[in-house]
Amino acid sequence: MRLIRLENPPTILGSAAVGSKKEFEGPLGADLDLHDETGTFGMDTWEKSESEMQRIVLNLALAKAKCETAELDAIFAGDLLNQCVGSAYGLLSFGKPFFGLYGACSTFAEAAILGSMLVSAGYFHKVATVSSSHFCSAERQFRFPLEYGGQRTPTAQWTATAAGSFILGKEGEGPYITEVMAGRIIDGGIKDANNMGAAMAPAAIDTLLAYFEESGNSPDAFDRILTGDLGREGVLITLELMKREGYDLTRVYNDCGLLLFGGKSQDVHCGGSGCGCSASVISGHIMKRFHSGEFHDVLYLATGALMNADSTKQGSSIPGIAHLVHISSHK
């Protein structure tokens, strides 16, 4: 059994989402708690900008949760940069026990799984989860210098300059994290670093099939099933292959990479990506729908491409992973 039903579901006490001008100009701009027009967040390097995003978003989440930093038992955080320096520098000033995580674009769900299990088990009372990405720092590390101006392939995705944060607690009125499922590493044989959706889709399908089989739930039990971030290419693959397995997701399924940006009008090709993409969508847009009563049950499935710049240059295929978190308004 991979599915874990949390005996004492932790409450999402507060959440926050931040982004840059491009994210603010997208369809979900109104759901951001803060945005920076320049994308620098007052810093002089892109990497420092990403760290500052994490500092800002955690402070916002703490304020919304009416929680002091001193009340946190630990912080679970990650980003796309080598050795997770975006998180390490950004969260340094909080002075709390720190778990640095790397799951590529699945990092926010990974943090939520680990944090919620430890709160549910009683080891921690309150924890924070944070993840971020920055278009410019990711381009520098994984692709080309911005000045190069390289063409992007049609299946490429746009790394979001965004961050999201949850404050999880043992007590509270909800919404709650009620079920979690850690993903397996799945290699579909895709070697194209400009087609992450196709590389990650097999992992999303693997986790979804395992969840439906073990939980006994059907897709119709949810207001939304959200992946993050398969983009248009990965979404089409997932819908088709899930349908072949007997699951029609069309009524409830969407992808955070498609939701965050405005498609052709913002020229993001196949959609958004990055650790901050689904983190900001879930922490902002989705949580607001829970608080308004529009949503009661959401299955959040964050997908990650487990590669680096060297592995693709060496011709290795790109394994994927998909971590699942069930968010519900009732225990």
pLDDT for 153 equals 72
Instruction: State yes or no: pLDDT of 158 exceeds 90.
Output: no
Average pLDDT over residues 251-275: 85
Q: What is the CB neighbour count within 10 angstroms for residue 146?
A: 12
Q: Is the pLDDT of residue 148 over 80?
A: no
**Same domain, yes or no, for 232 and 255?**
yes
> Cα–Cα–Cα angle for 135, 22, 90, nearest 5°?
50
- So what's the pLDDT on residue 287? 99
Same domain, 155 and 105: yes
Domain, as residue range, for 42 = 3-169
* Judgement on whether residues 134 and 180 belong to the same structural domain of the protein: no
Instruction: In whole angstroms, give the CA distance from residue 50 to residue 316.
Output: 29
> What pLDDT does residue 273 have?
85
216: tokens are 């006994």
pLDDT at 263 (0 to 100): 65
For residue 34, give both structure tokens: 């803060």
Looking at residue 326, its pLDDT comes to 99
Q: How far apart are CA 25 and CA 45, in angstroms?
A: 23
Residue 251 has pLDDT above 80, yes or no: yes
What is the model's pLDDT at position 154? 66
Kindly state the percentage of the chain with pLDDT values over 70: 96
| pLDDT at residue 156 in the model | 74
Q: Which alpha helices (H) appear in 164-274, and where do they start and end?
A: 196-215, 231-244, 256-259
Do 23 and 156 belong together in one domain? yes
Give the CATH number for residue 133.
3.40.47.40
Of the three residues 135, 169, 203, the one that is the final residue of a domain is 169
Domain count along the chain: 2
Domain C-terminal end among 169, 190, 210:
169
Q: Looking at the structure, tell me whether residues 88 and 215 fall in a common domain.
A: no
Q: Of 146, 169, 192, which closes a domain?
A: 169
* pLDDT tens-digit series, residues 100-110: 999 999 999 99
Determine the pLDDT at residue 143.
Answer: 67
Looking at the DSSP bridge assignments, the partners of residue 36 are 20
Residue 264 has pLDDT above 80, yes or no: no
Band (177; pLDDT cuts 50, 70, 90): very high
Is residue 139 within 8 A of residue 157, CB to CB? The reply is: no
What is the structure's pLDDT at 146? 63
Say yes or no to pLDDT of 132 above 90. Answer: yes
Q: What is the pTM of this model?
A: 0.95
- 178-191 residue pLDDT tens: 999 999 999 999 99
The string of pLDDT tens digits covering residues 71-112 is 999 999 999 999 999 999 999 999 999 999 999 999 999 999
Same domain, 138 and 243: no
Same domain for 192 and 323, yes or no, is yes
**Rounded mean pLDDT of the chain?**
94
Comparing CA positions, the residue from 159, 195, 200 lying closest to residue 50 is 159
- Rounded to an integer, the average pLDDT of 199-218 is 98
Distance separating alpha carbons of residues 126 and 170, to the nearest angstrom: 7
What pLDDT, in 10s, does the model give residues 55-66? 999 999 999 999
- Among 17-26, 220-229, 303-312, the least confident range: 303-312
SS3 state at 49: helix
322 or 174, higher pLDDT: 322
192 lies in the same domain as 320 = yes
